[in-house]
Amino acid sequence: MVASILSEIMLIGLLGIGSQWVAWRYRMPAIVVMSITGLLVGPVFGFMNPEQDFGDLYKPIISVAVAIILFEGSLNLSFKEIRGLGRPVFRISTAGAFIAWILGSLTAHYIAGLSWAVAFVIGGLFIVTGPTVIMPLLRQSKLKPRPAKILKWEGIIVDPIGALLAVFAFEIIAFLTSTNPDGSALLLFFAASVFAAILGWACGRGMGWMFETGNIPEFLKSPAVFIVVIFSFTLADEVMHETGLLAVTAMGMTLANIGISSVADMRHFKENISILLISAIFIMLTASLQVETLLKVFDPHIIGYVILMMFVVRPISIFLSTIGTDLSLNEKLLLGWIAPRGIVALTVSSYFASILGGAGYEDASLITTLTFALVFFTVVAHGFTIRWTARKLHLSMEGRPGTLIVGSNKFTINLAKSLKEQKAPVLIVDSSWERLRLAREAGIAFYHGEMLSEQTEYHLDTIPYDYLIAATDFHSYNALVCTTFIPEYGRTNVFKISPYNLVDSDVNSTVDKVGGRILFKEDVSKEELTNKISSHYKFRQTAITDQYKYKQYLEEKEDETILLYIIKPSGQIKFYSEEMRVTPENGDIVVSLTPPVKEIKKIRERLENQRDGNGK
């Protein structure tokens, strides 16, 4: 066991973030790594049991964390994002959820052997997927925008619906089995749900008004939202258990759709907090499981229940609910397969296990085992298969890493052409039709719009692109673009053309320090690159082999050569930058901008041959 609570908190954070890093480093599903890590330090080796060690604080910590995670997810639910997807999302979140509830309840009764009461409660609970499991999968899978958005919206909207369905089922059961039926409890449930939705909306509108009128300073905006989220969740949850999830979802969606600029800044803060909370909670929940619970997972009835939920209940609910929509067969197949359960199912199930057990339902003790079995098997199965399934169904944006170039000019057009020759996706973005003429003539994919505008955020699909290069004529704009997109692309994948020049070195030294790494060399400005293109410099590809080492290449290349990027055999691209060490290895291809020495030499030889021929 861990020596102290402080040491345990430290270890939970370390294991959670460590699991996220291992998953990123070895391209594995993060939720799978976190779940296995929690099982190892908890029931397997017995290093910790957070539920036992934290005592009465355990459940409130989990509940508040889930509320914050769900709010952060709903903060991304802008209605502009689902133009053309409203019908499938609505159908899946309503009719699909209802069908999954009924079929899941029947499966729990006839296969898992639960009583009707417990089966309908757990059936309602298991319709949830949620941002805690969907978001990490979407980050790693590179799905096409359409199925990705549907899965995201379904997960966030259905999360509170599933919890409310379970509460509703319990209230119905209590009403029907009572010796003196009283409808007041049902009325209270519906009133509490409406109250939670109105509370969340009011908190969202109130915070939006405070932001727009300047009543909250910038440095207090994120902390203020953080506290109001906890306030709305707690107040609604005190009125009726699990309605707090509905309140924070309503608050997040309200803030996302009232059009205030501060939401983008808060979103980055909330994303960072959510990653930390998801990591910690998965460790805590899995580490708190009992060995007996794990052993019961291998019961044939429980395994049969999980298999039917994954391969029968989910596909049927998706196919029936999407009849009449414009979803393709492949999209329906993917949506019918991907439905991992996560934190909300684990946390809410423990609550219902206790109250159903207290109400005299002996089979309620199986709820925790069933929940863990479904969570673990769906997380592992869907985590390891989503990329493969998406590729097989042609719904994946997998391929060579793409590059998004902001600014259309002679150099960026030629750079895009060289990347295109390497079969790497490339897109040029510019707000000027005149400047984009070069891209149109060269056959390069382009997007006409302002890179920093809200419309571009909703209409430009950035999923295929792993790198961003800002190469406009305005150095301050390049720096602003880089600063804006660093949270999305990562600091090592965002570049800008050097702002360096001899005339205005003081200003440029300031711009140089703002966002984005300098591409190629500090003393190679956009003007110089454009001039080299006008001087007929060529993009050359040089393979590094055992016979032709990189050192030899550096010694033999022309002094005026500018090293641009290398391409690994895997397709990975690494751009040269003085702030990043790039060392090509055998099998790599070095792409450079080279003086036209060979071409000039050939022209001279041709002229000499012609002169010699004429002389004869």
In a domain, 612, yes or no: no
Q: At what angle do helices 526-534 and 410-421 cross, to 10 degrees?
A: 70
What's the burial of 615, exposed, middle or buried (CB within 10 Å: 0-12/13-18/19+)? exposed
Residue whose C-alpha is closest to residue 372's, from 313, 317, 303, 316: 303
CATH number of the domain within which 233 lies: 1.20.1530.20
397, part of any domain: no
CA 161 – CA 48 distance, rounded (Å): 33
In percent, how much of the chain has pLDDT > 90?
7
Is 201 part of a structural domain of the chain? yes
Asked if 29 and 282 count as a contact pair (C-beta separation under 8 A), the reply is no
- Are 439 and 504 part of one and the same domain? yes
Query: Same structural domain for residues 374 and 457?
Result: no
Q: Are 344 and 467 within one domain?
A: no
Q: Is residue 339 part of a domain?
A: yes
Say if 615 falls within a structural domain: no
In-domain check, residue 512: yes
Q: Look at residue 608 and tell me if it is in a domain.
A: no
pLDDT digits (tens, 9 = 90+) for 255-276: 877 766 666 656 556 666 777 8
Report the CATH number at residue 411: 3.40.50.720
Q: Are residues 434 and 539 in the same domain?
A: yes
Q: Are residues 370 and 482 in the same domain?
A: no
pLDDT in tens, 43-61: 888 888 888 888 888 888 8
358 lies in the same domain as 417: no
Which of residues 346, 361, 392 is at a domain's end?
A: 392
Same domain, 385 and 410: no
Per-residue pLDDT reduced to its tens digit, 127-170: 877 666 776 677 667 777 788 888 887 877 777 777 777 777 87
pLDDT at 505: 47
Per-residue pLDDT tens digits for 517-537: 788 877 777 788 888 888 888
DSSP structure class, residue 535: T
CA distances 283 to 16, 36, 68, 279, 589, Å, are 6, 9, 17, 7, 42
- Domain match, 81 and 121 both: yes
Domain assignment of residue 445, given as a range: 402-603
Mean per-residue pLDDT, 475-485: 83
Tens digits of residue pLDDT in 543-589:
888 888 888 888 877 778 888 888 888 778 888 887 767 777 888 88
* The residue type at 614: N
| Joined tokens for residue 475 | 């150095």
User: Of 345, 365, 392, which one is at a domain's C-terminal end?
Assistant: 392
492 and 529: one domain? Answer: yes
Number of domains in the chain: 2
Q: What's the CA gap between 178 and 175, in Å, rounded?
A: 5
Are 298 and 386 in the same domain? yes
Q: CA-to-CA distance for 482 and 290, rounded, in angstroms?
A: 48
Same domain? For 224 and 364 the reply is yes
Assess whether 384 and 420 both reside in one domain: no
Statement: residue 182 has pLDDT above 70: no
Per the prediction, the chain carries an average pLDDT of 80
Last residue of a domain, one of 349, 367, 392: 392
Per-residue DSSP letters for 419-466?
Answer: HHHTT--EEEEES-HHHHHHHHHHT--EEES-TTSHHHHHH---TTEE
Least confident of 289-303, 452-466, 552-566: 452-466
Q: Using the 8-state DSSP alphabet, how is residue 284 labeled?
A: H
Residue 561 lies in a domain: yes
